[in-house]
């Protein structure tokens, strides 16, 4: 939970005016570039959120990644544009509007298709912009002046054009095949959209009588998890690897209840070890059975209607739901002595991703895309390296998905969406696809009708990268497409890699003759702090809007990217956001210190003269290079770690400390040089931080006395590693690392033993090399001043003085003399007492954490808290024992 004591800063009040200034200033639109990239475009298309959506943690992470990329590219001088838009979300929106109408006592069937679509557009106008406003709150620099929607007129034209081209190129066909059907939504669902749920079930062993006895057997036993579908059985299969079953091949059984004679055949799909070894085959209600039915020319009998009720012709079973039919069929078999036995059997069932109803494999007439000709170019684009996945392992997942891809069912039995542009004449049988509406038959002049179904939402969204840049238009839009395509980066979740990413590649290769994007970032799925998927029912969800209230948009963005690694899932850790908020405060305080010490400041080039200057500028040069490398590799946690470490540890904790004596000194020239260096380092650090923390960096930049290339940091130049390379100084870095180690060791010793900072200490430092001794000796005045050291000895052969502490540094040992400053007997007694207390507490927590009863009943967060406390106490004990050993 957020630390409420520290939430006294109104982030929105500071952030909103800056966002307004950027947006109204045209910084989010495609603007002229500058520098070496001034003629290059850098374009990103946002994965269009559903108009039904609210900002969730996946959106927050995805949008932060995209904004970081686009802001950096803008500062690098590219002509940047982040294309914004939303998706009409066919099933989701229709479900929402259906629910709203039902609350008003209205049915869409009552008002008709046209009125219902009007209601959908009204709903979109009222609710559909919610997530866009929330994206703005994050500071995302999308081009809000040109927002797109997948049911805009231009987009509709593009979708119809693609359908017509694929239809005339024999890539789209209509056929009667088995699909995943939602009886509640009464529409087909794509294979990839089905959600699998594990549930306890049964394996019913049913007796099917043989038409003619075989070796004295009157029946065979089939095992099934769905006894109700036996009404549609048209065959029984056995494995050719099962020698005991081969004598049955070619025989027939009489299907109970319906008295249908069906054949027994052999097929390699059958697992001889599953159930009884006899598998009932229902081609109209199981995709694997469908495939066997195709191979063995079996009839395909659909026993359910569109709501999954048994159709007419099955006597007492007609009109029953699936569940009712199951109970009735099992009861019938038991009553007639044909139920052999029942086993418990857990299995996985497919459910609708929207309403969570169990899907029904169902034979129906649908429209399909023939994917075989499209798969090859889409695979080659990744295999050749034209498209690169980050992390790289996802490329194989993409290729595996393509290899196993079957023809794609693109028709949906909905009203909201892109209506299929197929037109039919019932008089003469003419039919064709058309981009324009057709009202009369071109063959006989009779009135024509349009197909009632709409297209799968993924069919329309596959055009997103090029349809949003004027694919169907002439003039300005077309020229932009020619210049800005392909786009540079797509950031998305792994679960739509096949549904969307692969299909965009297939569509782009066909329509544009090239790839849609050069890089695909697959970001990790954000899980709850308990490691489980976020959900309301679990109570482990996190609202990014609330996080922005508590930590600011910058704090949330930086804290999220700190957690992004190459792992598949991200276990959300809110403490990272607290660290980010504290980091924001550190940035603000450091900037305040610099501003307060700029009296007499005059802009000018930095003057790198002192060892501390050479060190910080060398570290800055390395930082820019490392941040560039990490950004280019899309290693965002590395970017945040490098920036955090430099700004907090090196700039704030040390360089500002080194600068204080110079700023308060009497040498005006040295003071000015120090001011210029502070401003330069701060300015460079703000530029590096800006893509991830845009608000605080812009706010500080507005007050910083720098001659920027633009009034706003958002359009100022990104630091160039090449121009800073001249500041690289290995010796200065080594010298200051040792200085920091020595001063830190002395300060830690003071803290450990309660020695006042006013008491001067004697210190000896043992180094490994003579060169280190020389470097460190040169900084004696600086070390003694910062550590209040009265005597400093440095050497390769330095020996540990009597009664001194030992602290290890990077290639050195620091001995701080304690005699005269510490009462050793009293200190030993205090430490022994502390050791006994810690040991007692550790034992108490150890007993508690090893108690099975406590572990079984306590809440996970309580157990985790106690484990953390136990670990902390153990660490404290180790430190105390180390001090006792040191005193002895």
User: In this predicted model, what pLDDT tens digit does every residue of 307-351 receive, in sequence order?
Assistant: 999 999 999 999 999 999 999 999 999 999 999 999 988 878 888
What lies within 8 Å, CB to CB, of 248 at 6+ separation is: 214, 220, 238, 264, 278
Residue written as tokens 């064709």? 432
Q: For strands 388-390 and 517-522, give the pairing.
A: parallel
Q: How far are the Cα atoms of 11, 52, 550, 743, 858 from residue 547, in angstroms, in the given order?
A: 11, 21, 5, 38, 28
Higher pLDDT, 403 or 543: 403
Share of the chain above pLDDT 90, in %: 69
- Global pTM reads 0.86
Query: Which pLDDT band holds residue 863 (cuts at 50, 70, 90)?
Result: confident
d(CA 519, CA 486) in angstroms, rounded, equals 10
Query: Which pLDDT band holds residue 648 (cuts at 50, 70, 90)?
Result: very high
The pLDDT value recorded for residue 5 is 41
Domain 825-887 has CATH 1.10.287: yes
Q: How many Cα atoms are found within 13 Å in the side-chain-facing hemisphere of 832?
A: 8
The pLDDT value recorded for residue 6 is 47
The pLDDT value recorded for residue 2 is 42
The pLDDT value recorded for residue 400 is 95
Where would I find the beta strands (DSSP E) of 127-224? 148-149, 172-182, 187-189, 195-199, 202-214, 217-224
- CA-angle at 325, arms to 346 and 295, nearest 5°: 70
Residue written as tokens 């395909």? 300
What lies within 8 Å, CB to CB, of 38 at 6+ separation is: 32, 77, 79
Q: How many Cα atoms are found within 13 Å in the side-chain-facing hemisphere of 19?
A: 21
Which residue from 651, 587, 588, 659 is spatially nearest to 620, judged by alpha carbons? 651
Tens digits of residue pLDDT in 651-679: 999 999 999 999 998 999 999 999 999 99
Phi, psi of 281 (to 5 degrees): -120, 120
The pLDDT value recorded for residue 4 is 41
Share of the chain above pLDDT 70, in %: 98
The pLDDT value recorded for residue 466 is 95
**Three-state DSSP class for 215?**
coil
d(CA 499, CA 462) in angstroms, rounded, equals 9
The pLDDT value recorded for residue 432 is 97
CATH of domain 201-345: 3.90.740.10
What lies within 8 Å, CB to CB, of 876 at 6+ separation is: 838
Neighbours of 645 (CB within 10 A): 13
H helices of 310-408, where? 322-335, 372-383, 394-403
Higher pLDDT, 481 or 824: 481
Tens digits of residue pLDDT in 175-222: 998 888 888 888 888 776 778 888 888 999 999 999 999 998 999 999
Mean pLDDT, range 533-553, rounded to an integer: 82
d(CA 801, CA 824) in angstroms, rounded, equals 16
Higher pLDDT, 852 or 269: 269
The pLDDT value recorded for residue 624 is 98
CATH of domain 549-731: 1.10.730.10
Tens digits of residue pLDDT in 759-791: 999 999 999 999 999 999 999 999 999 999 999
Higher pLDDT, 245 or 876: 245
Q: Where are the domains of the chain?
A: 26-161+459-533, 201-345, 549-731, 756-822, 825-887
Domain 26-161+459-533 has CATH 3.40.50.620: yes
Q: Which range is least confidently modeled, 451-460, 672-681, 873-882?
A: 873-882
Q: Is the pLDDT of residue 722 over 90?
A: yes
Q: Is the pLDDT of residue 7 over 80?
A: no
DSSP state of 498: I
d(CA 179, CA 363) in angstroms, rounded, equals 6
The pLDDT value recorded for residue 884 is 77
Answer left, alpha or beta for residue 438, where phi above 0 means left and psi between -120 and 50 means alpha: beta
The pLDDT value recorded for residue 477 is 52
The strand pairing partners of 390, in sequence order, are 521
536 is annotated as contributing to ligand binding:
yes
Q: Is the pLDDT of residue 725 over 60?
A: yes
Query: Which pLDDT band holds residue 626 (cuts at 50, 70, 90)?
Result: very high
Query: Which pLDDT band holds residue 3 (cuts at 50, 70, 90)?
Result: very low
The pLDDT value recorded for residue 874 is 86
DSSP state of 822: -
Tens digits of residue pLDDT in 828-849: 777 788 788 888 888 888 888 8
Tens digits of residue pLDDT in 57-75: 889 999 999 999 999 999 9
Q: Is the pLDDT of residue 139 over 60?
A: yes
Residue written as tokens 């930082």? 623
Neighbours of 388 (CB within 10 A): 15
Q: Write down the mean pLDDT value for the chain.
A: 91
Answer left, alpha or beta for residue 726, where phi above 0 means left and psi between -120 and 50 means alpha: alpha
Tokens of 347: 């299995």
**Three-state DSSP class for 804?**
strand
């Amino acid at each position: 939970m957020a630390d409420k004591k520290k939430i006294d800063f109104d982030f929105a009040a500071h952030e909103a005016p800056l966002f307004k200034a950027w947006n109204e200033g045209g910084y989010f639109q495609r603007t002229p570039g500058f520098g070496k990239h001034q003629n290059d475009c850098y374009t990103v298309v946002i994965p269009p959120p559903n108009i039904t959506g609210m900002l969730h943690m996946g959106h927050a992470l995805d949008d932060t990644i995209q904004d970081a990329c686009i802001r950096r590219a803008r500062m690098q001088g590219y002509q940047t544009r982040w294309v914004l838009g939303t998706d009409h979300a066919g099933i989701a929106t229709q479900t929402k509007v259906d629910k709203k109408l039902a609350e008003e006592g209205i049915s869409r069937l009552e008002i008709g298709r046209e009125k219902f679509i009007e209601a959908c557009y009204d709903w979109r106008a009222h609710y559909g912009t919610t997530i866009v406003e929330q994206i703005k709150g994050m500071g995302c620099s999308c081009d809000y002046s040109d927002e797109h929607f997948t049911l805009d007129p231009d987009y509709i034209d593009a979708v119809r054009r693609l359908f017509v081209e694929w239809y005339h190129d024999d890539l789209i066909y209509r056929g009667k095949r088995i699909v995943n059907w939602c009886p509640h939504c009464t529409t087909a669902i794509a294979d990839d959209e089905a959600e699998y749920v594990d549930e306890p079930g049964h394996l019913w062993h049913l007796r099917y009588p043989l038409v003619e006895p075989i070796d004295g057997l009157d029946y065979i036993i089939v095992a099934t998890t769905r006894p109700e579908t036996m009404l549609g059985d048209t065959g029984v299969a056995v494995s050719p690897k099962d020698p005991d079953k081969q004598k049955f091949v070619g025989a027939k059984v009489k299907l109970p209840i319906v008295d249908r004679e069906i054949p027994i055949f052999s097929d390699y799909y059958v697992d001889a070890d599953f159930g009884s070894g006899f598998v009932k085959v229902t081609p109209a209600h199981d995709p694997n059975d469908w495939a066997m039915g195709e191979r063995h020319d079996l009839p395909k009998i659909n026993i359910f209607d569109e709501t999954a009720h048994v159709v007419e012709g099955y006597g007492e079973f007609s009109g029953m739901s699936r569940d009712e039919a199951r109970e009735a069929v099992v009861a019938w078999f038991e009553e007639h002595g044909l139920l052999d036995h029942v086993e418990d059997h857990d299995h996985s069932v497919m459910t609708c991703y929207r309403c969570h109803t169990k899907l029904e494999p169902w034979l129906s007439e649908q429209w399909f895309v023939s994917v075989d000709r499209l798969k090859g170019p889409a695979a080659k684009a990744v295999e050749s390296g034209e498209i690169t996945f980050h992390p790289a392992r996802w490329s194989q997942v993409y290729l595996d998905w393509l290899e196993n891809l079957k023809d794609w069912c693109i028709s949906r039995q909905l009203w909201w969406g892109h209506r299929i542009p197929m037109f039919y004449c019932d008089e003469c049988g003419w039919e064709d696809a058309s981009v324009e509406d057709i009202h009369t038959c071109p063959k006989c002049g009779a009135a024509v009708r349009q197909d009632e179904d709409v297209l799968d939402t993924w069919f329309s969204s596959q055009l997103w990268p090029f349809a949003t840049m004027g694919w169907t238009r002439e003039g300005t839009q077309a020229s932009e497409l020619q210049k800005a395509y392909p786009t540079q980066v797509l950031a998305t979740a792994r679960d739509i890699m096949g549904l969307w990413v692969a299909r965009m590649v297939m569509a782009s290769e066909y329509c544009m003759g090239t790839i849609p994007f050069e890089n695909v970032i697959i970001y990790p799925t954000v899980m709850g702090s308990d490691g489980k998927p976020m959900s309301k029912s679990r109570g482990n969800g996190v609202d990014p809007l609330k996080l922005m209230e508590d930590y600011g948009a910058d704090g949330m963005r930086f804290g999220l990217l700190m957690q992004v690694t190459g792992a598949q899932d991200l276990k959300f850790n809110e403490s990272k956001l607290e660290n980010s908020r504290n980091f924001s405060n550190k940035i603000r305080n450091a900037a305040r210190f610099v501003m307060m010490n700029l009296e007499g400041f005059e802009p000018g080039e930095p003057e790198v003269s002192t060892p501390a200057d050479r060190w910080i500028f060398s570290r800055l040069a390395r930082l820019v290079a490392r941040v560039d490398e990490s950004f280019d590799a899309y290693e965002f946690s590395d970017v945040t770690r490098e920036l955090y470490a430099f700004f907090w540890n090196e700039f704030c904790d040390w360089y500002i400390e080194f600068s204080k004596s110079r700023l308060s000194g009497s040498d005006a020239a040295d003071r000015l040089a120090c001011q210029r260096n502070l401003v330069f380092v701060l300015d460079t650090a703000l530029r590096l931080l800006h893509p991830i923390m845009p608000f605080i960096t812009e706010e500080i930049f507005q007050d910083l006395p720098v001659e920027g290339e633009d009034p706003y940091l958002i359009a100022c130049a990104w630091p160039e590693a090449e121009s800073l390379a001249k500041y690289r100084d290995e010796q200065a870095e080594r010298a200051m690392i040792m200085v920091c180690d020595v001063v830190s060791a002395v300060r830690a010793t003071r803290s450990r033993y309660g020695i006042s900072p006013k008491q001067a200490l004697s210190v000896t430092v043992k180094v490994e090399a003579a060169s280190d001794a020389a470097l460190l000796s040169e900084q004696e005045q600086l070390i003694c001043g910062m550590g209040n050291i009265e005597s400093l000895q440095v050497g390769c052969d330095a020996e540990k003085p009597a009664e001194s502490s030992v602290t290890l540094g990077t290639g050195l040992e620091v001995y701080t003399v304690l005699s005269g400053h510490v009462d050793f007997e009293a200190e030993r007694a205090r430490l022994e007492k502390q050791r006994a207390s810690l040991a007692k507490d550790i034992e108490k927590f150890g007993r508690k954490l090893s108690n099975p009863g406590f572990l079984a009943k306590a809440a996970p967060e309580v157990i985790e808290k106690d484990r953390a406390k136990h670990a902390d106490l153990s660490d404290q004990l180790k430190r105390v024992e180390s001090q006792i050993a040191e005193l002895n």
